[in-house]
């Protein structure tokens, strides 16, 4: 079973075997509005937890997407370059950004589970 974890910056990470899929949450895409452009890192790039992983631009603003954990980019969602709206339509599915090979799985323990994240988001209103 895959487990999804969340950051306070509204990224999600889902473990699928030995790879982690990363994207932004539904809350994040709602705050951004219509996504018009996504800039993804190169495959093979080493990402550091909490540092820039990608950029998402909407009609409202440009925003950094941060790496929830450290690791190496093993895949990017090339479909987003032609269809950035997938981030709005299906942020936790087809709107994923990158796949990582996690460097340190203990970093996952510092992220929120779904219930914690929901409480966090409710506290923002």
Residue 122 domain-assigned (yes or no): no
- Residue 3's pLDDT is 87
69: containing domain: 4-105
Nearest-angstrom CA–CA distance, 80 and 45: 18
The closest alpha carbon to 32, from 58, 53, 66, 11, belongs to 58
Q: What span, in angstroms and rounded, lies between the C-alpha atoms of 93 and 67?
A: 18
Residue 111: inside a domain, yes or no? no
Rounded to whole angstroms, how far apart are CA atoms 5 and 103?
Answer: 16
Length of the chain, in residues? 125
Q: What share of the chain is helix, strand, coil (3-state, %, to 5)?
A: 25, 35, 40
Structural domain total, the chain? 1
Output the average pLDDT for the chain.
Answer: 95
Q: What is the pLDDT of residues 16-54, one digit of tens each?
A: 988 999 999 999 999 999 999 999 999 999 999 999 999
Determine the Cα–Cα distance for residues 91 and 28; give it in Å rounded to an integer: 9
**What is the DSSP annotation of 22-48?**
EEE-HHHHHHH-SEEEEE-PPTT-EE-
- Considering only CA atoms, give the Rg of the chain: 13
Q: Tell me the pTM.
A: 0.95
Assess if residue 118 is contained within a domain. Answer: no
116 lies in a domain? Answer: no
């Amino acid at each position: 079973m895959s487990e999804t974890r969340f950051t306070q910056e509204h990224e999600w990470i889902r473990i699928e075997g030995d790879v982690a899929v990363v994207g932004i949450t539904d809350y994040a895409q709602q705050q951004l509005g219509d996504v018009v452009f996504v800039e993804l890192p190169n495959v093979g790039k080493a990402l550091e937890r909490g540092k820039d992983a990608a950029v998402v631009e909407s009609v409202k603003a440009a925003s950094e997407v941060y790496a929830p954990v450290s690791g190496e980019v093993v895949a990017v969602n090339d479909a987003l370059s032609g269809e950035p709206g997938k981030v709005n339509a299906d942020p936790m599915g087809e709107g994923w950004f990158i796949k990582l090979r996690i460097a340190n799985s203990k970093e996952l323990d510092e992220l929120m589970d779904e219930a914690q994240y929901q409480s966090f988001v409710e506290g923002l209103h």
